[in-house]
Structure 1
Amino acid sequence: MSHIRVLVIDDSHEIRKFVVQYVLEPHGFEVLEAADGAEGLRRALEEEVDLILLDLEMPKMNGFEVLDGLRDRRSEVPVILMTSHGSEAIAIEVFHKGVRDYVIKPFAPAHMLETIERALTSVRLQHEKEALTTKLVQTNRQLEQRLREFDILYQIGKSVTSLLKINKLLERVVDAALYVTGAEEGAILLENGGEGDLREYVRKQRVAGQKQQVARRSESQLAVDAMRKGDATMTGAMLYAPLKVGRRTIGALGVNNRVTARFFDNHDRRLLMALADYAAIAIENARLLQQTKQAKDKEKQQLLSLFERYVAPSVVEKLVAQPEAIKLGGVRQIVTTLFADIRGFSKFSAHTTPEVLVDVLNRHIAVAAEAILAEAGTLDKFLGDAVMAYFNAPLPQPDHALRAVRAAWRICRAVDQSRSLPPASRLQFGVGISTGETLVGNIGTSQLMNFTVIGDAVNMSRRLQEQAQGGQILICQQVYGLVKGYVEARPVGMVELKGHQQLEPAFEVLAVHV
């Protein structure tokens, strides 16, 4: 019966005392009293009551007038009429004015209590309804709060996971932890090598002031404990959550209130755990991205180291931009190969000092290399006084045969026009060019390998070069078929090439029009 307030309106002190002492107070009702109708109406309207026990005959304002006053104010408080013998007819009349029940004076306490119980049924139902409504409102507010928090976490998570730079990401995570928990200070610690070895990367303090000793354990001990348990560790004003990726724990995210010593609750714990899950994924993604970038940079450097000395700069740029265009390890590919050898070099070296000989050789090799690189060819190797190059690898070149012929033409013309070579030191190149399927890739051992081409087409260009005279360019029939619209050439007949059982047709390039 607790929290039920009953207003007793009766001008008889004895009746009021009897009702209060023998009916209401023993059963836990809260009691209000009024000695006349006017005071009773005022208290009924001004104070919250759940039930009115009303006498009919009273000074200043009788029971009928009190009922009229309650009805005028649209009061829904149930009323039990206390009437005297012979007033049943009047009791029936007042039912029309909103009276819920009546008792006839004198009455027994048990009878009055039974009447009160009947009248309070609707009151209790109304109280239960109001309590349920209040609880529903509170639940809805809590749900709305949770939804706002989840939305905040989602927005924070989306913001955090979109960051790619690890340092900026860690700062954003700590900011988010301070925001969702309302904490005064936050920090993020990540594993630094061994298990339990943590390094603090970011710490931010939102509230300035003198810090208090709020726990026996240090923050790092709480962080290690959270990582070991795989769950948040909370000691009053300090809270740490593990950063977990799958079964691995990579660090801990923590907050504290060491200025005000305000305690965190389980709700703060849940929020920080949810944020820590977002943060762990974002940190791992940023690390993987960083590792991928480092691997790409390493791959780029390897490509540069491998090709920059042998390939035209434009080709190197394409390789760096499109590393997938080259498949290391060996692939079959149509390639045009060029061999250029200095004619008469042995005779020249017989009456030349070594220092001059090396200088002349380097100048001739430089002429050949520049001509090849100008046509985006790949320098394969230098063989004494000879140069080997190839086209259509490592990147495809639809006009690879024509590029090789133009490079050969440049080589032969450049020697004659070179100002760096005195006329007596100008030696002619004999050039051989062939096109065919080769194996392109890294050839060698795991300790020493070269990106090169091997195959019969390579051997054929070498044999054609051996047949060529100084200043002469010999090409195979397949090369001629690819470039005949751009060059002037004459057949030189069938030539015998070492390693070939049949004679092979060859052509001498006389002029290049492109």
Structure 2
Amino acid sequence: MTALAAKMTDTRKRILVVDDSLIMRQLVSEIVDSDPDLAVVGTAENGRVAIQKVRQLAPDAVLLDIDMPEMTGLETLRRLGLRSPCKVIILSSLVTNQDASERVEALRLGAAAVIGKPSGGVSLDLKQKRASEIVGVLRQALGLPAIADPPITPAASPTADLIAGPIAELLFAGLDIAVLLFDHTGHLMRASDAAGRILHGCDLEPGRATIASICDTFNHTLASELWDLIGGGDAPAPDEIDFAMPDYSWIPLGRTIMPVELPGQARGVLLVLEDISEKRRLQALLNKTMSSEVAQAAMTATSPTLGGEMRDVTVLFADIRGFTALATALGAHAIVDLLNEYFSYMTDVITAEGGMVDKFIGDGLMALFGVPNPHGDDADRAVAAARKMQRALTLLSERHAGPPLRIGIGVCTGPVLAGQIGSPARMNYTVIGEAVNLASRLEAATKLYGSQILICGETRSRLRRTVPVRQIDVVKVPGIETPTVVHDVFVHEPEAMAAGWLAAFGAGLKAYLDGEITVALDHLARASAANPEDTATRVLAQRCRRLALLKPGEWTGYWSLDER
């Protein structure tokens, strides 16, 4: 059976899933495919790709996220609603109640429905519930009539040129930018030589081409701006736009619109378009090697220089446990594929919480929260990201055969030097300082305590949100003089029955730090009996047995992590 015949015999409704999160795209696709009457025909990571795929795949419905880079969900919805018959259903964490402004705007723009999705980059409950609401709303929306196109107003007859003479010839022939002059009826009167090259494939014949014909292919926002200015409105500020070409491709353009007013003539409009493809290409390349904020700063800087400034930052280190054995078992190609998917999941989560991945270090990564732009709650964001990273790991492990992946995460907050560090010929935006060293040490210590996430005392003191956490030790790490309190963050809320052993552990930890070794051993024995699987309890009990051999006064109240 040919592909065309298969398409004709497949009666399932065709769905396109659009979300900038790889995790969310995969989960939502699984949910849609769980319905026998629905089929995911494609996914898109942003609005520009989504519009292109709508035209190529002709889906019956689009599940669309609002909060996306480059082109927002609302802008994508606006463009789709004007020319595409497919239903658009908003799926976004930004929309959580009936009065949300995003919900009102989405419905005004023609969305068939608006569904609030779980917040963050990871959605375990989304998978567990199989998202009956998503499937239900999809089925309901696909039974409604298609959105009709708005009526097209017939064009008025053209008028004479608005500009003529030597200046006009210089403007339209001598500049390497697209310059288009429209009269008050929307007809194209003049076009620069460069316009034909930049807007290749568009009909730019003066007197025949119009605003409607040039902006007919998903460029309706631009058309509205031109008509608003002709009608007497104010000129919009210069901006960057993505212009849809007749061949389904996109071209990034710098857009400037100016009114043309001559004595005795109705207002026309001058549209100036500059091809910024190279700028976008360079920025996209930089975005793959650094955060978008750092990339933007590098693009606008006249000449990046070495140096930095002291900033308050929360640093996160993560590392895969047992990676060497895993790499040996899987082989080179398979382990690289797994690492790429793992880093994609982790980057999704970190970015969703406002962090930036500083670097990948073998099978580990280092992420920063608070630079280049602080949020005021960066410690909360880092801890939330750490917990969601562990949950994302569970989802990733379910998709692969073999033993589940395990990672340890260390988080520390403190002052660091942030900026361009390296040599004049090669530099990198990063941070250096004690907080970086301590976060790395805490990540390594997760193996000692059997923990998934360890945070320092300073990070704990900055937390505003309620997080399930217990103090686990006071330690001194090599290279840092001041001992630090260490806390163990739980990925999931402890069950009610855990209160007993947690209380016994807390009492044992206090006695241990106070040097009351006998009392500490008694409490830790009760904690171990209630929860034999707790590694931290065994570690402290072993230390207490060693400390019992010391002379009075020799115990300092903290443990050095370079000791075994």
TM-score range, shorter chain: 0.3 to 0.5
Which has the larger helix fraction?
Answer: 1
TM-score (norm. length: structure 2): 0.36
